[in-house]
Structure 1
Amino acid sequence: MKNSIAHILKFSAVTAGVTLCLMATAPAASPLDEGVNSYRHGNFESSAKTFAPLAEQGNATAQYLLSCQMINGIGVPTDQTAGWAMMESAANNAQPDASMVLARRLEATNGDKENIKSLYMTAAEQKQTQAMLWLALDAIDQGDKAHAKELLADAWNEGDPRAATLLATRFAENDEDRISYLSAAAEKGELRAAAYLAEISREKDDRVGAVGWCAIASGLPGHAANVDWKEIGMAVERTCAKYDEDLKPAARAQNRANVDQFLSDFFADYKAWKPWRPCAVR
């Protein structure tokens, strides 16, 4: 690992003078912020040079992101052995995403279940909601519903809408709570929640809600700028027509106009939650 890092470090001196000049004229971002910004924008050679000394000093975020680069050969020569060793160092330094990647790797290679669970527990302790969901489903499988509900509540408190969907479908005690969870989840882009709401609306003979939630569950691009509502209307007809096909033409036309307004209102302030992805920065 040290040879790989040394190879990256040799470039640092070249930029030292420029960095000092910039510091004299403007408040400097931290080295970690600079590295993350480079990584986020795809400047991987730059991010690797920045992360290398920080990783040597034990910075868990730098270790995690640099290990991703080393494992995948992005911005640096591929070095699987050193990369995975650094990933383990990041996990040992309480970097939750590193624990997640290691757990996923073990799952993909049929690793020991207890080791996998231990990694997910470590990540969950650091508020990693993907890990919380895994542990919640495992608890359900083990018959420990109380612990599963607690984990899902924690994940939802951290903003993961998938947890709200599971709370609605597994633990809601009445329709009001179930719809409340599902609506909150759908508002963050949880498509399964929208699909459930479409069926609930159908059961209540709410044709606008049924078609509207169906459209959202179908992944329509209503959150994009300059939405072509005619195109969306065609997509609704293809995927959601079953919910109002028995209406007479005039009533159906009015229903679709109401659906357009439903979708417009829904997407007015829409901000979808972004699920965790390995080696991505948030």
Structure 2
Amino acid sequence: MKANVRNLLAALVVATALGPPAVAGSLDDGIAAYHEKEYAKAAELWQPLAEKGDPAAQYLLGTLYMAGKGVKQNDATAFMWFQRAANQGNASAQYNVGASYAEGTGVPKSDVDAAKWFQRAANQGMVFAQLNLGLLYAAGNGVPQDNVEAFKWLELAFFALPTGGPRSDVARAMTDVAAKMTREQIDDAKRRERGWKAQPEVK
């Protein structure tokens, strides 16, 4: 499921990505090429921007290496670009770094590192990171098992997702977690959810 979500996320970000004024034209040219399925051209346009440190270009280039579009598929190279963008606060890249650690794709599997990066992306409001972080808390993978935190993150993801699809899966996960909680714990989780605010990373 994570891989499919990452591919969906890549498409969504390519549809909406904007670069800073100095590089927006080249970044947008790459996005236009991507939509025309000229993936090699997109890679050619994004590569120099990524090498100069532009986090949007780094993330987008990583998605090409992840999918093998316009470049030879390489999970390790994809992870490298995601990591560089994630270190600069790019929430989508942070999610993909977390997913890479969760799956052991391009990097050794580590639930602890997955939780760390899901947490950073979730704090910025990245919905799929919130979902995965909630599941980690529910299972106690990479973080101490905590049903209150699990329910909080799952509920945040639930309200951010459109109806149907993943939202139905989140609802089932919330029901499973709630069955193990007291009324007081559920109320506590809902208070935390209501008091939560996204905290964008400033770079």
TM category (shorter chain) comes to 0.5 to 0.7
Distance (whole Å) between structure 2 residues aligned to residue 242 and residue 189 of structure 1? 22
Match of 1:271 in 2: 199
Please report how far the alpha carbon of residue 264 of structure 1 lies from its aligned counterpart in structure 2 after TM superposition: 5.1
Specify the SS of the correspondent of 1:212.
helix
Please report how far the alpha carbon of residue 214 of structure 1 lies from its aligned counterpart in structure 2 after TM superposition: 0.7
Match of 1:67 in 2: none
Q: Which amino acid aligns with 2:78?
A: A
Specify the SS of the correspondent of 1:178.
helix
Match of 2:15 in 1: none
Please report how far the alpha carbon of residue 100 of structure 1 lies from its aligned counterpart in structure 2 after TM superposition: 1.6
Distance (whole Å) between structure 2 residues aligned to residue 139 and residue 255 of structure 1? 43
Determine which of 228, 246, 251 is the counterpart of 2:179: 246
**Aligned in 2, Cα 1:208/1:101: closer, same or farther, shift over 3 Å?**
same
> Is the 1:97–1:123 Cα contact (8 Å) retained in structure 2?
no
Distance (whole Å) between structure 2 residues aligned to residue 180 and residue 241 of structure 1? 22
Q: Which amino acid aligns with 1:174?
A: S
Distance (whole Å) between structure 1 residues aligned to residue 83 and residue 35 of structure 2? 28
Please report how far the alpha carbon of residue 245 of structure 1 lies from its aligned counterpart in structure 2 after TM superposition: 4.2
Determine which of 100, 116, 130 is the counterpart of 2:27: 100
Determine which of 108, 121, 131 is the counterpart of 2:57: 131
> Is the 2:101–2:113 Cα contact (8 Å) retained in structure 1?
no
> Is the 2:94–2:118 Cα contact (8 Å) retained in structure 1?
yes
> Is the 2:155–2:174 Cα contact (8 Å) retained in structure 1?
no
**Aligned in 2, Cα 1:104/1:189: closer, same or farther, shift over 3 Å?**
same
Q: Does 1:208 align with 2:148?
A: yes
Determine which of 158, 176, 195 is the counterpart of 1:218: 158
Match of 1:177 in 2: 113
Specify the SS of the correspondent of 1:218.
helix
Distance (whole Å) between structure 2 residues aligned to residue 106 and residue 137 of structure 1? 14
1:49-198 superposed matches below 5 A = 95-110=22-37, 112-140=38-66, 141=68, 142-171=72-101, 173-198=109-134
- Compute the RMSD of aligned alpha carbons: 2.9
TM-score (norm 1): 0.49
Structure 1's consecutive aligned runs of 4 or more residues displaced over 6 angstroms after TM superposition are none
Please report how far the alpha carbon of residue 170 of structure 1 lies from its aligned counterpart in structure 2 after TM superposition: 1.1
Please report how far the alpha carbon of residue 258 of structure 1 lies from its aligned counterpart in structure 2 after TM superposition: 1.5
Q: Does 1:257 align with 2:173?
A: no
Distance (whole Å) between structure 2 residues aligned to residue 108 and residue 161 of structure 1? 22
Distance (whole Å) between structure 2 residues aligned to residue 116 and residue 241 of structure 1? 40
Distance (whole Å) between structure 1 residues aligned to residue 75 and residue 127 of structure 2? 24
Distance (whole Å) between structure 2 residues aligned to residue 109 and residue 162 of structure 1? 23
**Aligned in 2, Cα 1:261/1:106: closer, same or farther, shift over 3 Å?**
same
Percent identity, aligned pairs only, is 16
Specify the SS of the correspondent of 2:82.
helix
Q: Which amino acid aligns with 1:194?
A: Q
Please report how far the alpha carbon of residue 146 of structure 1 lies from its aligned counterpart in structure 2 after TM superposition: 2.9
Q: Structure 2: which 5+ residue stretches go unaligned?
A: 1-18, 103-108, 161-169
